[in-house]
Amino acid sequence: MAHRRTRVKSWLPVLLFIGGAVAAAVYFVENPGSAMAARVLTYDHLATLAAQHVGMVVISSLLAAATALPLGILISRPRLRLLGLVLENLVNIGQTIPSIAVIALSFTVLGLGFNTAIFALWLYSLLPILRNTYAGIISVPPGVREAAVGMGMRPWRILLRVELPLAFPIIMAGIRTAVVVNVGTATLATFIGAGGFGHLIVTGIMVRRLQLLLSGCILSALLAMLCDHLLGMVEEKVKTSA
């Protein structure tokens, strides 16, 4: 059945997304459409916004992975099973809270700025990674774990050689979700003064300049699709090797 065929993710879309982004940037800078837009749409400025956007996503995602992985491992220990269940429920509730609300709440506590945005993105992307790390380790079949214990593997060796490798595809899926959501949420960071492609969109709406608006939309959308595809490739790779 054609629709069941697993689509092997190729490098072609990666080139398309990057090429598309570059082409869009060149097009909008060369055709700003109005003097007001021309002041914003310069190569320098676009590079700055891109760096801000990517920087926010990369830093917050790395921090989130660095916190959520150990935490997820910790709450999956049998002795902390109860804590794990409690946290799992809290995370589930936390995930229903909209990203704009998290940005807004962070703003009320930390004020404007890049660091506030990093904090909000970190907090928000913590949840999928934490949940998937926990779920991934919990889903290791009991027989597999028992065999490992029964053969005299030390607990940290079981974690490294059995539990984490088996949970890795699920953890990777969590990281992918987190990063893609982060690209989207980072567009909202402009509301609290952290820049990024959202700046182009919001400015475009405020001053009613279509070129400005479209440039922000297209660039942030391409970045999101690029991240999704790249991490999808990693996920596929992990799945087939596991």
Partner 1 sequence: MGFWSLVVSRWNNILESTGEHILIVVAAVCVAVIVGVALGVVITYWRSLAGPVLYFCQVVMTIPSLAMLGLLLPVFGIGYKTGVATLILYSLLPIVRNTYAGIQGIDPAIIEAAKGMGMRETTILRRVKLPLAWSVILAGIRTAVVMIIGIAAIASYIGAGGLGEFIFRGISQWNLQLVLLGAVCVSLLAVLADGLLKRVEGRARR
Partner 2 sequence: MIRLEGVTKIFPRQRVPAVKNLSMEVGEGEICVLVGPSGCGKTTTMKMVNRLIEPTEGKIYVNGRDVADMDPIKLRQDIGYVIQEIGLFPHMTIAENIATVPREKGWPEDRIQQQVDILLELVGLDPEVYRHRKPADLSGGQRQRVGVARALAADPPILLMDEPFGAVDPITRAHLQNEFLSLQKKMRKTVMFVTHDIDEAIKMGDRIAVMRAGELVQYDTPDRLLSAPADDFVAALVGHNRALKRLHLVKAGAVARTDVAVAQATRFVEEAKELLQTNNSPVVVVVDGLNRPKGVVQREELLRRNGRAALQDIVNPLESVADEDATLYDALSTMLNYGERYVVVLNHNREFQGIITFGYLLELMKENGS
| Interface positions with partner 1 (CB under 8 A) | 1-3, 5, 7, 93, 96-102, 104-105, 107-108, 180, 183-188, 191-192, 197-198, 201-202, 204-205, 210, 213-214, 216-218, 220-221, 224-225, 227-228
Residue among 162, 212, 223, 227 that touches partner 2 (CB under 8 A): 162
Q: Which partner, partner 2, partner 1, none, binds residue 147 by CB below 5 to 8 Å per kind?
A: partner 2
- Chain mean position to CA 143: 33
DSSP string, 85-138: HHHHHHHHHHHHS-HHHHHHHHHHHH-SSHHHHHHHHHHHHHHHHHHHHHHHHH
Burial class (CB in 10 A: 0-12, 13-18, 19+), 108: exposed
Q: Which partner, partner 1, partner 2, none, binds residue 143 by CB below 5 to 8 Å per kind?
A: partner 2
**Residue 15 vs 210, nearer CB to partner 1:** 210
Q: Which partner, partner 1, partner 2, none, binds residue 157 by CB below 5 to 8 Å per kind?
A: partner 2
Residue among 74, 166, 217, 230 that touches partner 2 (CB under 8 A): 166
Q: Is residue 74 a contact point for partner 2 (CB under 8 A)?
A: no
Residue among 18, 149, 160, 205 that touches partner 2 (CB under 8 A): 149
| 192 DSSP 8-state letter | G
> Percentages helix, strand, coil for the chain, rounded to the nearest 5?
85, 0, 15
Q: Is residue 143 a contact point for partner 2 (CB under 8 A)?
A: yes
Nearest one of 56, 69, 89, 96 to 187, comparing CA atoms: 56
Residues 6+ apart with CB under 8 A from 242: 165, 166, 168, 169
Work out the number of other CB atoms within 10 angstroms of the CB of residue 173.
20
Q: Which partner, partner 2, partner 1, none, binds residue 151 by CB below 5 to 8 Å per kind?
A: partner 2
Residue among 39, 81, 157, 208 that touches partner 2 (CB under 8 A): 157
Q: Is residue 78 a contact point for partner 2 (CB under 8 A)?
A: no
Residues 134 and 84 sit within 8 Å (Cβ to Cβ): yes
Stretch that binds partner 2, among 109-117, 138-146, 195-203, 224-232 (CB under 8 A): 138-146
| 76 DSSP 8-state letter | T
Q: Which partner, partner 1, partner 2, none, binds residue 166 by CB below 5 to 8 Å per kind?
A: partner 2
Chain positions contacting partner 2, by CB under 8 A = 141, 143-144, 146-154, 157, 162, 165-166, 242
